[in-house]
Amino acid sequence: MKKVLVLCTGNSCRSQIAEGYLRHFAGDAAEIYSAGIETHGVNPKAIEIMKRDGIDISGHTSNNVNEYIGIDFDFVITVCDNAKESCPYFPTNAVKLHYNFPDPAKAKGTDEEVMEEFREVREMIRKYAQTFVNENLKN
């Protein structure tokens, strides 16, 4: 079974959303993990925006990349430039992929405007996750 790690700065929004969608689309085809170079806790708005799409990530935890040093990943996906540039040395033969998604936690404005930013980022990540699974896990 393939093992996939999604890596972000704080493991609170983008990597959590990606983990949710990758698990949803991959089913039993892969084990999906997410981590951060720091841990900020799972953002409640990320939980809410995923719930609106029928995916429950409320049980996810915010994990540090160092917790997964012993796992031999097949893929490591960084979802922000900071994680790609700042990640400590991570010994793996995994295929490394990168996509810099905007950080919805930095959105400003009314609650409605902030949630719209979360929705837009969620949709970008959903499409990326679906394509990744179709191209890398469903063969």
- At position 11, the amino acid (one-letter code) is N
Give per-residue burial for 37-71: e unless 16+ CB within 10 Å, then b.
bbbeebbebbbebbeeeebebeebebbebeebeee
The residue annotated as part of the active site, out of 7, 8, 37, 49, is 8
- For the question of residue 13 being annotated catalytic, the response is no
**Contacts of residue 15, Cβ cutoff 8 Å, sequence gap at least 6:** 6, 7, 8, 34, 35, 36, 79
Report the C-alpha gap between 117 and 95 in whole angstroms. 30
CA dihedral 108, 11, 57, 18 (to 10 degrees): 90
The residue annotated as part of the active site, out of 22, 37, 76, 80, is 80
The residue annotated as part of the active site, out of 32, 87, 125, 133, is 87
- The residues carrying an active-site annotation are 8, 80, 87
